[in-house]
Every structure is written in C-alpha cells, then in structure tokens.
Amino acid sequence: MSIPFVEPFRIKVVEPIKHTTRPERESILAFAYNNLFGVPAEDVFIDFLSDSGTNAMSDRQWSAMMVGDEAYGGARSFTHFEAAVREVLGFPCVLPTHQGRGAEGILFKTLVKPGQSVPNNRHFDTTQANLLALNANPVDLAVDEASDPHSLLPFKGNMDLGKLERFIDQTGVENIPIGMLTVTNNSAAGQPVSMANIKATSELYRRYGIPFFLDACRFSENAWFIKQREPGYADRPVAEIALEMFSYADGCTMSAKKDAIVNMGGFIACRDEDLKQKLAQHLIIQEGFITYGGLTGRDLEAIAVGLHEGISEDYLDYRERHTRYLGEVLQSAGLQVYQPTGGHAVYVDAAHTLPHIPPAQFPGVALANQLYIEGGVRTVEIGSLMFSHPDPLTGEVIPAPNEMVRFAIPRRVYTRSHLDYVGEVAREVVKNAADLRGLEITWAPELLRHFIARLAWV
C-alpha cells in the first residue's frame, strides 16, 4: 500500500477558533480600513495570511525550549543552533537575526551601496524594500513561465540565465555587489528552482566574481520538489539534496519562520570568516550580540530542532500533498489556481475571477476581502498593492506581474476538513463575483504599503 495523504502527526494541544457572523465580519473589516492585515486574529476563522511564524511546533521543539541557555555571550543554545546550521545547510559561519528581514538588512547594508543593483529570480517584499530603503535597485529576472499561471512545468521559479547575463553585461559587475536566488520563489507562487538552475546561476555569478546568496526561507520544500521532479534526484535523501543546493552558494539569508518551523527567528550564514566579521558589526548595532542576534536562547533551540524536522521526508510529503489538496479544492470551487501548486501556498488569479476590476483597483484585495466577509477566511493579496512601485531610477511605475491572492498554509496547523471548509467559502465568493467592487487607497506609506495601507471600496 502506498502511503496515504494523512497528517504525519497527532494533536496534543488544541487552540479553539471562533465563528463570527457575516455582519460582524463586515464591520470588523471596515474598522480595519478594509486591510486584512489590520483584522484581529481572533476574528479570523481560518488564517492563511502567512505561513511565516504561524507554524505549530513539535513536542521536541517545545521541550528543547525548556533547556534554552539565556546567557548573553556564548550560550550553549547558540552552539546547538550553529551545529544544526552546519549539519543541515553546510555553512560554517552563522549569525542569528530576529527574522529574515533582519538578515537581509544586515547583508545589504554591509555589501550594497546606493545606486547599485541586486538581481534575483524574484525579490520578496522585504528584500525589495530593504534594497529600496538603501536607494539600491532590486531586479527580478525569473523565467517568463513564472508569470504564466497555466503551464504545468516543474521549475517555474527558475532564474532566466539569458536575462541575468544580459543584465550583468549592461549594468557592469562593479554595480552588482551581490546576486541572489530565492528558493522556493515565494513571489512567483512558491515555485521551486531546479538544482541545474541553482548551479548554473552560481556559475554565472562566479564567472563575474559576484558573491552568490540564496534567499533560503523554503529550502527544504525546494529540495523536496527537486527530489520529486528533477531527473537523477529521486533516490537521493532530501538532506543530501539540501546540502548540494547550498554547496553552490557563498551564503544565505533565512527566515526560520518558514522551513525551520518556528514562530520567530532568522539568520545569515556564509563561508567567509572575514565577511562574517563585517556583518557582525552591523549585527551588534542592530540585532544583538553575535551569539543571539535578537533571539532568546530558547528560540535558538527551537530552530536547531526545527531545521532537522523541516527536512523530514514524511513531513515534506504530507506538506506537498496538503498544499496540492487545497489547490484542488479551490479549483473545483471555481477559482483559477496557479499551476502547479507550490510548496507553502496556493495562489489564485484574482484578475481571472474579477475581470471587471482593473489592476489599479486591486482585484486581489477585493477577492481576499470577500473571502473574509463570506467565511472568516484570511488570505493576502500578492499583486498591485504589494508589488507595484516606482522605479528608483526613472520614477516610472513598475506594474505587478500578476493579480494574485495567496492562501499561505501554516505548517502542521490545519487539517483536511479545514481545507474543505475554505473550499465552500470560495464557492460562495465565486458565485457572487460579478457583484464585487474594487478598492482605492485612501492612505499608504511609501515602502511596504500593503501592510498598513487604508482602503475604501470604490
């Protein structure tokens, strides 16, 4: 018998969630200026706002936390954390940070000067914003298929190597202090990057002498997809595949809130001791001393255990099937699901469901808001509100590549019947899609506006 799709864990602690009425949700959303980030979590029934830090930790992680060493310098917990990073990722040097964006901020502050460019398959919102805040230029060079929600290709997160080489030639290596690659490609529907593409991207950056860093938030899901989809990897353990992925990079930034299955934390890892010393100077000013970097000893313990649990193949098999199942449920509810579904989330095409709402009126926000009103399901727009921004060099508005809504799935939190419920809510929303209106911004900050923008229905 093949292994069925069933949760490879049982539930030891439960957290009640609360139903609200539709009129209650309407007024809650209005009170939050029609921005789902502002809705109190206790007024959400199923929360797919983010898979970041929303994970259920295991009994082993919780018990590791009890032995956390809270010493200021040289805590034993740091040694455990460092050993896990060496074992699972293979990098000898590591600096903890409070979360992924702390790692990015420090890396970019250390290496990137105003006016310089950083290429990536696709920057996530925080890497984009960290660079824009330095007056540097985040450049997205993913393969064209990344923006195509229909083609069933195995590695739509890949870097377009032709575009990358042309970009480097036109921009000049002196203007590219670092090159990135994001695995999986969160901004492109969580699509994986193939080992061949990681290797070729690394070779290209190396040829030009550009340091190569992975944005490694979902490296274990990426390694799992390589095992499933890339010729030659089916019989290799995920742990080995992950190590090979990292072997091509000079370092990585990591949000432990993703594939290290914790609630808070991140790190920068690298090979070069000199670079570590340079990074450490910014780290100490901003995050904390080099053996805690804004985290408690117990956080470091939970990450050390979580890094190992995150590459468990039973877990990853369930994770992929769970996500794919939500994709099937939403597709049969009538939403247009980005294919194939990625590792951590299902992305649906809001422009397809709401063709009457133009990008400037945020069809993704309209769809996400209606999912909340209909059934207390919280998702997030990944479209014009999140990504459209003025080019830092020309001032011209760069449009978002798609108008998506992301259903990001917290790890080990929701069962299959939760997913079925979400399907029923989606079906109701699709039924009444023609009546939905768009939204307009009434106030927004300059950077990362989607988090706190205020909106009104048009």
Question: By the criterion CB under 6 A, which residues form the site for ligand PLP?
Answer: 52, 99-101, 124, 126-127, 182, 186, 215, 217, 255, 257-258, 266
The smaller minimum CB distance to ligand PLP, of residues 52 and 379, is found at 52
Closer residue to ligand PLP in complex, CB, 255/336: 255
CB of 183 to ligand PLP, least distance (A): 8
Q: Collapsing DSSP states into helix, strand and coil, what is residue 267? A: strand
- Phi and psi at residue 236, in whole multiples of 5°? -90, 140
Nearer to ligand PLP, 262 or 290 (CB): 262
CB 195 within 8 A of CB 225: no
Shortest distance (Å) from residue 256 CB to ligand PLP: 7
> Rounded to whole angstroms, how far apart are CA atoms 305 and 301?
6
CB of 293 to ligand PLP, least distance (A): 13
Q: How far is the CB of 193 from ligand PLP (least distance, A)?
A: 12
Least CB distance from residue 398 to ligand PLP, whole Å?
19
Q: Which is nearer to ligand PLP, 69 or 140 (CB)?
A: 140
Shortest distance, position 191 Cβ to ligand PLP, whole Å:
12
Q: What is the nearest approach in angstroms of ligand PLP to the Cβ of residue 260?
A: 10
Tell me 9's DSSP state: S
Beta strand spans in 271-340 (E) = none
State which residue, 117 or 187, has the beta carbon closest to ligand PLP. Answer: 187
Q: Which residues contact 84 (CB under 8 A, 6 or more apart)?
A: 303, 304, 305, 307, 308
User: Please, are residues 295 and 81 in contact by the beta-carbon 8 Å criterion?
Assistant: no
- Residues 301, 79 contacting (CB under 8 angstroms): no
> Are β-strands 345-349 and 377-378 bridged in parallel, bridged antiparallel, or unpaired?
unpaired
By C-beta, is 69 or 215 nearer to ligand PLP? 215
Query: How far lies 252's CA from each of 10, 56, 93, 234, 270, in Å?
Result: 33, 25, 11, 25, 6
What's the CA gap between 78 and 101, in Å, rounded?
20
Nearer to ligand PLP, 69 or 287 (CB): 287
Nearest residue to the partner ligand PLP, using Cβ: 100
Structure tokens given for 221: 């899901």
